[in-house]
Homo-oligomer: A and B are copies of this chain.
Amino acid sequence: MPATGTDTLPAAPMAPRMEDVARLAGVSMMTVSRALRAPGTVSAPMLAKVRAALRQTGYLPNLVASGLASSRTQVVAAIIPLISQPFAPTLQGMTDVLRASAYQLVLGVTHYDPRQEEALVRAFLSRRVDGIALFAGGHTEETVAMVRQSGVPLVEMWADPATEVLVDSVCVSQRLGAREAVRHLRARGRRRIGFIGGATANNIRQQARLRGYLDGLDEAGLPDDPAAREVAGCFLMEAGAEALARLLTRRPDLDAVCVASDILAVGVVFEAHRRGLIVPDDLAVTGFDDAEIARAMYPSLTTIDMKAEEMGRQAAAMLLERAGQGGRVDLAAMPSRRCDLGHALILRESS
Asked if A88 CB lies within 8 Å of chain B CBs, one says: yes
Asked if A107 CB lies within 8 Å of chain B CBs, one says: yes
Q: Beyond A64-B64, A296-B270, is A104–B83 a contact (Cβ under 8 Å)?
A: no
Cβ A102 vs Cβ B83 within 8 A: no
The SS class assigned to the A binding surface is: helix
Cβ B102 vs Cβ A123 within 8 A: yes
Cβ B102 vs Cβ A92 within 8 A: no
Contacts of A273 in B (CB 8 A): 298
Chain B nearest Cβ from A87, distance in angstroms: 9
Cβ A108 vs Cβ B123 within 8 A: no
Asked if A292 CB lies within 8 Å of chain B CBs, one says: yes
Asked if A126 CB lies within 8 Å of chain B CBs, one says: yes
Asked if A226 CB lies within 8 Å of chain B CBs, one says: no
Asked if A338 CB lies within 8 Å of chain B CBs, one says: no
Cβ B295 vs Cβ A238 within 8 A: yes
The stretch of A65-73, A181-189, A280-288 in contact with B is A65-73
Contacts of A237 in B (CB 8 A): 292-293, 296-297
A336-347 CB mask vs B (1 if < 8 Å, else 0) is 000000000000
Q: Beyond A58-B149, A150-B15, A292-B236, is A63–B107 a contact (Cβ under 8 Å)?
A: no
Q: Copies of this chain, how many?
A: 2
Asked if A24 CB lies within 8 Å of chain B CBs, one says: no
Indicate the size class of the contact surface on chain A.
35 or more
Cβ A127 vs Cβ B149 within 8 A: no
Q: With A and B bound together, what is the CA distance between A110 and B313 in angstroms? A: 17
Q: With A and B bound together, what is the CA distance between A13 and B89 in angstroms? A: 37
Q: From residue 14 to 58 of chain A, which have CB atoms closer than 8 A to chain B?
A: 15, 58
Cβ B73 vs Cβ A83 within 8 A: no
Cβ B58 vs Cβ A68 within 8 A: no
Partner of A64, one of B88, B105, B107, B127: B127
Asked if A128 CB lies within 8 Å of chain B CBs, one says: yes
Q: From residue 69 to 118 of chain A, which have CB atoms closer than 8 A to chain B?
A: 73, 75, 82-84, 88-89, 91-92, 95, 102, 104-109
Partner of A238, one of B73, B109, B296: B296
Cβ B64 vs Cβ A68 within 8 A: yes
Contacts of A89 in B (CB 8 A): 83
Q: With A and B bound together, what is the CA distance between A61 and B89 in angstroms? A: 33
Q: From residue 168 to 216 of chain A, which have CB atoms closer than 8 A to chain B?
A: none
Cβ B88 vs Cβ A84 within 8 A: yes
Q: With A and B bound together, what is the CA distance between A350 and B180 in angstroms? A: 36
Q: With A and B bound together, what is the CA distance between A258 and B239 in angstroms? A: 28
Cβ A105 vs Cβ B106 within 8 A: yes
Q: With A and B bound together, what is the CA distance between A314 and B58 in angstroms? A: 32
Cβ B102 vs Cβ A91 within 8 A: no
Q: From residue 312 to 330 of chain A, which have CB atoms closer than 8 A to chain B?
A: 328
Contacts of A251 in B (CB 8 A): none
| Nearest 7 Cβ contacts at the A-B interface | A237-B296, A270-B298, A83-B88, A64-B67, A63-B126, A63-B127, A60-B126
A-B contact pairs, 14 of them (CB 8 A): A13-B149, A13-B151, A63-B127, A63-B128, A64-B64, A68-B68, A84-B292, A88-B88, A104-B107, A106-B106, A237-B296, A238-B295, A267-B296, A274-B298
